[in-house]
Amino acid sequence: MTMKAYVYNKCDTCRKAKKWLTEQNVSFEEIPIVDAPPTKEELRTIWKTSGLDLRKFFNVSGVQYKELGLKDKLQAMTEDEMLELLSSNGKLIKRPLLASDQTVTLGFKPEELEKAWGGK
């Protein structure tokens, strides 16, 4: 399966990740995270594959995260509620979100991408 790269073109971090992936000859399907966020079930699969705490999927530095007061609300939310919220608004998802059947990475840290996605 090709890796899916959920990105936002106005995001510097996403642009850096796409450049890194391209330079490393890592093939990916680019998906605009704001216009076409992953569905609730896709997110559930991605999250389970990642092994990460679901709260790590939230873009905590985003305007909407802050406007919605999610810092205080996430602790009381169920997994289902968090998945529903994430799937309803791509700007709430930490990006870039890179996912395949076996691997998931969030954000852009070259050393993590190298470990997860290899390259050249």
Please give the Cα distance from 38 to 22 (Å, whole number): 22
pLDDT value at residue 57 = 98
Backbone angles phi, psi at 3, to 5 degrees: -70, 140
The CATH architecture one would assign to domain 3-117 is 3-Layer(aba) Sandwich (3.40)
pLDDT (tens, 9 = 90+) of the chain, 120 residues, equals 589 999 999 999 999 999 999 999 999 999 999 999 999 999 999 999 999 999 999 999 999 999 999 999 999 999 999 999 999 999 999 999 999 999 999 999 999 999 999 865
pLDDT value at residue 2 = 80
pLDDT value at residue 89 = 96
Q: Residue 98 is inside which H or E element, if any?
A: strand 97-99
| C-alpha dihedral (53, 70, 4, 16), degrees to nearest 10 | -100
Domain boundaries, the chain: 3-117
